[in-house]
Amino acid sequence: MLIRPLSQADAEAVRRLDEKILGPDRSATWNTYIDRFLAIVEMEALPYPPWGCFVAEEDDRLIGFLFSERQSTVYGLPPGARIVAIAVHPDHRHKNVGTALVNSLMAQCENEGIEQVFAALLAYDRRDAKFLRSLGFDGAAVRVFVKQVGDADSASSVDDAGEKRAYDAIVSRVSEQLQRTQDRGGEALNTALQRAQELTSTAGEFTSEQIERASGYVRRDLFSFSENRERARELVRDRLRPSRVRHGFMALAAEAFDRASSGLSRLSDRLEAPLKFETGEVTGPGTLTCTSCESQMRFRDSGRIPPCPRCHKTEFRKSY
């Protein structure tokens, strides 16, 4: 295996690898960064590739990549670098490819006097968090605090409603894409998810942040559904009798069982840790059980998760 700096000639191979692992297999955190980096790499006038970017090769074939960028010194932090995206071909995972890519970045930082490397993840990117912790990364000593400008309660409720509507829109479009597809292979579900997110973005009804978060919630709910697919299949049969209108997440689940069952089955195989559901997130039908007091909340439709009604804690596991 060879680790070397990214070059302009690598752009197409990077794009092909990224396309191969679209969907839940790819970290939701860096969904929007790949195209931006590749646009920079492909600039004809660019004398050098972006700083801190590496690829892994085996037998002259690209099997992984890492994109990073310099971190500014805001918040009193020492000079640093931030990992933006890291990917390894599915056939080459658990072979220290990702570790070698990160080590190459660490070596460059050490040579240039950069003292810290950062990585920002969404809360449910559990696999990526596990990988980073295995390399010695830990929670940063800096916390980010956010307050809405203007009427905080009003702005928050508008954003909450927007995320739920974005969730429902993506669910509907994934279901529509599955109905139209002739492909019953393992990638049909991933392709439908990606296309649904693109269509929702094109419609212009929601912000990119709402779409990104809502897409992550839909993907996570499908992970959860696949993890409990035997019980979930019973629930689908019960909820979607012929006399009922098929809509919402349960309709999507029915289409997934019917048209992309292999893709749904593969999702649970990719789980490395139990999924967490937290207050403030949007989720679809199912039962949430508080991890602190075992109190349960049942969702018959999509909705935002409130604190536990008994102990007011904010972390749950899901069942059907």
Residue 93: name the closest of 150, 8, 26, 9 by CA: 26
In a domain, 254, yes or no: yes
In a domain, 309, yes or no: no
| pLDDT value at 75 more than 70 | no
118 and 159 inside one domain: no
Report the DSSP beta bridge partners of residue 245. Answer: none
124 and 172 inside one domain: no
Of the pLDDT bands very low, low, confident and very high (cuts 50, 70, 90), residue 151 is very low
- 149-158, 168-177, 267-276, 293-302: range with lowest mean pLDDT: 149-158
Q: What is the pTM of this model?
A: 0.49
In a domain, 278, yes or no: no
Q: Evaluate whether 56 touches 100 at the Cβ level (below 8 Å).
A: yes
- CA dihedral (64, 195, 12, 5) in degrees, to 10, reads -40
Residue range(s) defining the domain that contains residue 97: 2-134
pLDDT of residue 193: 85
Which CATH number is 11's domain given? 3.40.630.30
| pLDDT value at 306 more than 70 | yes
In a domain, 102, yes or no: yes
Summarised one tens digit per residue, pLDDT across range 84-113 is 888 899 889 888 999 999 999 999 888 888
| pLDDT value at 245 more than 50 | no
69 and 19 inside one domain: yes
Q: Evaluate whether 87 touches 17 at the Cβ level (below 8 Å).
A: yes
- Assigned token pair, 270: 């990719």
14 and 128 inside one domain: yes
19 and 58 inside one domain: yes
Question: Mean of the pLDDT values across residues 290-300?
Answer: 90
The number of folded domains in the chain is 2
The helix-helix angle for 248-259 and 208-227 (nearest 10°) equals 60
d(CA 17, CA 181): 23
In a domain, 298, yes or no: no
pLDDT of residue 134: 85
| pLDDT value at 275 more than 90 | no
pLDDT of residue 114: 83
Q: Evaluate whether 77 touches 116 at the Cβ level (below 8 Å).
A: yes
pLDDT of residue 159: 53
In a domain, 292, yes or no: no
106 and 159 inside one domain: no
125 and 177 inside one domain: no
Of the pLDDT bands very low, low, confident and very high (cuts 50, 70, 90), residue 76 is low
- Assigned token pair, 3: 């680790």
130 and 156 inside one domain: no
pLDDT higher at 196 or 190: 196
11 and 127 inside one domain: yes
203 and 264 inside one domain: yes
d(CA 68, CA 48): 15
Q: Evaluate whether 320 touches 232 at the Cβ level (below 8 Å).
A: yes
In a domain, 17, yes or no: yes
Percentage of residues in the chain having pLDDT higher than 90: 15
11 and 129 inside one domain: yes
71 and 114 inside one domain: yes
Percentage of residues in the chain having pLDDT higher than 70: 67
pLDDT higher at 187 or 186: 187
d(CA 282, CA 164): 6
In a domain, 199, yes or no: yes
